[in-house]
Amino acid sequence: EAYEDFESRKHTMAPSLSPIKSHHVAVIGAGAAGLVAARELRREGHSVVVFERQKQVGGTWIYTDHVEPDPLSVDPTRPIVHSSVYGSLRTNLPRECMGYRDFPFVIRSGESRDPRRFPSHREVLAYLQDFAKEFGIEEMIRFETAVERVAPATESDGEAGNMKWRVESTEKEKKVRRDEIYDAVVVCNGHYIEPRLAEIPGISSWPGKEMHSHNYRIPEPFKDQVVVLIGNSASAVDISRDIAGSAKEVHVACRSNAADTFIKQSGYSNLWMHSMIERVHEDGSVVFQNGKIISADVIMHCTGYKYHLPFLDTNGIVTVDDNRVGPLYKDVFPPALAPWLSFIGIPWKVVPFPMYEFQSKWLAGVLSGRIMLPSKDDMMKEVKSFYATLEAQGIPKRYTHQMGFTQFEYNNWLASQCGCSGTEEWRKEMYLTTGVRRREYPETYRDEWEDHHLVSQAYQDFSLYTQ
Ligand code: FAD
């Protein structure tokens, strides 16, 4: 029975052989989303150009020592450093769970490879490089080429009517400019670049240093300092522990903690959890809601990022409003411009790579006309009703693209559209189990685990692609 399941999966995940209509498609970005989008689009028979402003594939996984000159990254004219990855970063998902479905993230031999289940960022980059090589994706990429502007070149002529896009790009530090026309544009520019900041009463006259975790790399510069981190995301958990090894004191302030929260982190002599900062003062002091007052050198915002689409000009059809990119049908297509404009990689709190793979298969099939979309009106109705549900549940707009548990239902819906199998049970369970362990054992979950049965199920599935 299991063998038959693998056989049918192998079949359904194979490239489609007969595209109904092939299009000329621009993909913006060669990170995890752009790479798999390019592969699926080409598999479906489309001609693809990938624009990538960096020198290599991998997006946010390309670690660099460089940081932006503006430590808060608020100056719009600053030179952009794309990566938000810090030196000590190890994945927060196990590799089996994280990889694309038909290119498993298995241990590969090689000098600088990291065989751990929760490997370092270098291993993820190496995996994405392997993926690009395996599927010959680099030949579709124009490196060191930034997309400056994307705008409709023609109006969409009716329900199924084609439209064209003008894509303006510059290569090698603006030396070569191009202005080209494409049938479709797929936006895969990532959303961990443009920082969100916490509002702190009194901050304009506070004398210490402020920065965002986007510009954090290593703990040494914080030696003997008193550091306050704001946030409770994966980065705040990791960075607070990373810095605690060098800093004099580390204090983590978190909006979602109860007002009286004040906890010394077990296993550390210099790490405390607090409620949110109430106010900061000219004398360098930081007052927490729990009444504690400290004198701090640095405040680091580990408060996440904003969607940012500076190149996209849709005459107001697609907007970013309180971190909602909308309107988007199924987080991929703006109804009025579908399928000629699309987004891969918008959802968060998800297992990204396999989800991007599902989204890309769907997108590629829709573009060729093999998979049908509802009418523009029906898509818009569904988007509006989704927004109304969020509002009725009191969920702020900025959580529109947060998925968590619902991601598997979403993936399975995409899979049903594409005629392929949905999320594997082991992957779902592994994600859920890891989440629980990460919260309970933040120090050890990467090196100790109990889900051996899920690992062996994963490797059974992988044997289809690795032998
Ligand atoms: P990116 O990787 O950001 O790629 C976008 C690409 O677009 C970049 O290469 C960029 O140069 C290019 N680009 C942008 N604008 C332009 C333009 N105008 N013109 C041309 N090119 C452009 N995920 C996991 O699965 N496991 C983890 O453990 C994990 N840890 C993470 C830790 C951190 C600190 C961060 C920030 C993210 C983490 N993620 C993790 C999520 C990670 O973002 C995704 O795994 C994934 O890499 C996102 O891929 P992407 O292609 O959407 O974006």
pLDDT at position 293 is 98
Q: Which of 311, 390, 317, 325 is nearest to 145 (CA)?
A: 311
pLDDT at position 258 is 95
- Interatomic CA distance for residues 461 and 442, integer angstroms: 29
pLDDT at position 410 is 98
Whether 7 shows a pLDDT value over 70: the answer reads: no
User: What residue type is assigned to position 111 of the chain?
Assistant: E
- ipTM for the whole complex: 0.99
Q: Is 137 in the pocket of ligand 1 (CB under 6 A)?
A: no
Q: Is 31 in the pocket of ligand 1 (CB under 6 A)?
A: yes
Percent of the chain with pLDDT over 70: 94
Q: Is 32 in the pocket of ligand 1 (CB under 6 A)?
A: yes
pTM: 0.94
Following DSSP, what letter does each residue of 242-306 receive, concatenated?
HHHTTSSEEEEE-TTS-TT-EEEPTT-SSEEEES-EEEE-TTSEEEETTS-EEE-SEEEE---EE
Whether 19 shows a pLDDT value over 80: the answer reads: no
**Which two structure tokens, joined as six digits, stand for 178?**
């191009």
- Interatomic CA distance for residues 305 and 80, integer angstroms: 14
pLDDT at position 155 is 67
Percent of the chain with pLDDT over 90: 90
The count of other CB atoms within 10 Å of the CB of residue 461 is 19
- Interatomic CA distance for residues 64 and 73, integer angstroms: 16
Question: Once rounded to an integer, what is the mean pLDDT over residues 355-372?
Answer: 97
Contact 94, 430 (CB under 8 A): yes
User: What residue type is assigned to position 366 of the chain?
Assistant: V
Question: 144-157: string of b/e by CB count within 10 Å (b at 16+)?
Answer: bbbbbebebeeebe
Q: How far is the CA of 81 from the centre of ligand 1 (A)?
A: 12
Question: Once rounded to an integer, what is the mean pLDDT over residues 425-450?
Answer: 95
160 CB-near residues (< 8 Å, 6+ apart): none
Question: Once rounded to an integer, what is the mean pLDDT over residues 338-349?
Answer: 98
Whether 78 shows a pLDDT value over 90: the answer reads: yes
305 CB-near residues (< 8 Å, 6+ apart): 84, 191, 192, 193, 194, 195, 196, 214
Question: Once rounded to an integer, what is the mean pLDDT over residues 76-91?
Answer: 95
Which residues on adjacent β-strands are paired with residue 300?
Answer: 211, 229
Helix (H) or strand (E) holding 4: helix 2-12
Residue of higher predicted confidence among 422 and 12: 422
Q: Is 261 in the pocket of ligand 1 (CB under 6 A)?
A: no
Express each pLDDT in 141-166 by its tens digit.
Answer: 999 999 999 999 976 555 556 789 99
pLDDT at position 450 is 94
pLDDT at position 68 is 96
Following DSSP, what letter does each residue of 400-444 receive, concatenated?
TTB-TTHHHHHHHHHHHHHTS----HHHHHHHHHHHHHHHH-TTT
Which of 124, 192, 217, 235 maximizes ligand 1 atoms within 8 Å of its Cβ, making it the mutation to test the pocket? 192
pLDDT at position 15 is 47
pLDDT at position 346 is 98
Three-state DSSP class for residue 312: strand
Which of 100, 189, 193, 403 maximizes ligand 1 atoms within 8 Å of its Cβ, making it the mutation to test the pocket? 189
Question: Once rounded to an integer, what is the mean pLDDT over residues 400-409?
Answer: 97
pLDDT at position 11 is 38
466 CB-near residues (< 8 Å, 6+ apart): 104, 106
Q: How far is the CA of 100 from the centre of ligand 1 (A)?
A: 15
Label residue 96 by pLDDT band (50, 70, 90): very high
Whether 1 shows a pLDDT value over 50: the answer reads: no
- Interatomic CA distance for residues 186 and 165, integer angstroms: 11
Express each pLDDT in 23-54 by its tens digit.
Answer: 999 999 999 999 999 999 999 999 999 999 99
Express each pLDDT in 217-247 by its tens digit.
Answer: 999 999 999 999 999 989 999 999 999 999 9
Q: Residues 438, 439, 440, 443: what is their CA dihedral angle, to the nearest 10 degrees? A: 50
Label residue 13 by pLDDT band (50, 70, 90): very low
pLDDT at position 175 is 85
Q: How far apart are the first and last CA of the chain?
A: 20
Q: Is 52 in the pocket of ligand 1 (CB under 6 A)?
A: yes
| Measured CA distances, 195 to 73, 226, 234, 254, 388 (Å) | 7, 22, 15, 17, 28
pLDDT at position 313 is 98
Whether 411 shows a pLDDT value over 60: the answer reads: yes
Q: Is 190 in the pocket of ligand 1 (CB under 6 A)?
A: yes
Q: Is 235 in the pocket of ligand 1 (CB under 6 A)?
A: yes
| Measured CA distances, 345 to 66, 168, 225, 431 (Å) | 25, 22, 37, 18
Label residue 466 by pLDDT band (50, 70, 90): confident
Strands 319-321 and 194-195: unpaired
Label residue 197 by pLDDT band (50, 70, 90): very high
Whether 444 shows a pLDDT value over 60: the answer reads: yes
Whether 350 shows a pLDDT value over 60: the answer reads: yes
Which residues on adjacent β-strands are paired with residue 230?
Answer: 253, 301
Rounded to the nearest integer, the mean pLDDT of the chain is: 93
